[in-house]
């Protein structure tokens, strides 16, 4: 549990593993039901329908951002570790040297192969009673801090995100040091495939 500003960041496994009657999976499901994100139904769907199973199966861990004042759910983010292929071309020589330290280099393809922390979901709660109590910037800063904690404990040097191709959204990430490096086509059973822009930053 990490204090930050007027909120705390709580790993949902603390609910799932707890013997405290105030926690537990039923309480967690109840808390997640209060999340609303009409701007991005996929973000809401993941939290309510997949986050718990992903944590149980070690596919990704979701972190809840809760108000220190009254434990209301303000937002969340999910982190997992993914293999990543990064094209060298977009980056400066300084960044390339840093990437080379912890990746396998394919000289023919001019790519770096590495494991990185994926901030897989990032969602603010737009429920009327809490939507003004945290900003998107604060939520992203909390997610970056968490990847830095994981880096301190386990190593690694890269975090990345995948975002819809919307200039306002991409600029939001770029303001925090993320740089575009590739695209990926989504595969989904519940939504139409579409292109995501991949951005990374060094931790």
Residue 186 confidence (pLDDT): 75
Confidence bin at 1 (pLDDT 50/70/90)? very low
User: Nearest 5 degrees, angle CA 145-CA 33-CA 40?
Assistant: 65
Domain residues for 26? 2-202
What is residue 21's predicted lDDT score, i.e. its pLDDT?
66
Contacts of 160 (CB under 8 A, 6+ apart): 82, 84, 116, 117, 118, 119, 178, 198, 199, 200, 201
Residue 19 pLDDT exceeds 80: no
Average pLDDT over residues 73-90: 92
Predicted confidence at residue 2, as pLDDT, reads 47
Our count of domains for the chain comes to 1
pLDDT score at 188: 62
CA nearest to 116, candidates 180, 202, 175, 182:
202
Model pTM score: 0.88
CATH of the domain at 58: 3.40.630.30
Residue 196 or 22, more confident: 196
Q: Residue 101 — very low, low, confident or very high, per pLDDT cuts 50/70/90?
A: confident
Note the Cα 113 to chain centre separation in Å: 20
């Amino acid at each position: 549990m990490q204090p930050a500003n007027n909120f705390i960041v709580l790993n949902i496994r603390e609910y799932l593993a707890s013997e405290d009657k105030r926690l537990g999976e039923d309480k967690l499901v109840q808390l997640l039901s209060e999340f609303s994100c009409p701007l991005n139904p996929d973000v809401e769907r993941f939290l309510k329908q997949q986050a718990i199973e992903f944590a149980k199966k070690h596919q990704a861990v979701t972190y809840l951002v809760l108000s220190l004042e009254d434990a209301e759910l303000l937002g969340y983010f999910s982190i997992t570790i993914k293999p990543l292929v990064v094209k060298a071309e977009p980056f400066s020589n300084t960044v390339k040297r840093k990437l080379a330290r912890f990746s396998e280099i394919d000289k023919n393809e001019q790519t770096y192969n590495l494991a990185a922390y994926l901030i897989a979901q990032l969602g603010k709660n737009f429920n009327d009673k809490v939507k003004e109590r945290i900003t998107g910037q604060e939520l992203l800063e909390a997610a970056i801090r968490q990847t830095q904690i994981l880096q301190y404990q386990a190593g690694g040097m890269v975090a990345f995100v995948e975002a819809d191709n919307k200039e306002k959204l991409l600029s939001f990430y770029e303001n925090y040091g993320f740089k575009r490096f590739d695209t990926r086509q989504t595969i989904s059973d519940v939504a139409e495939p579409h292109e995501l822009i991949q951005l990374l930053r060094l931790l």
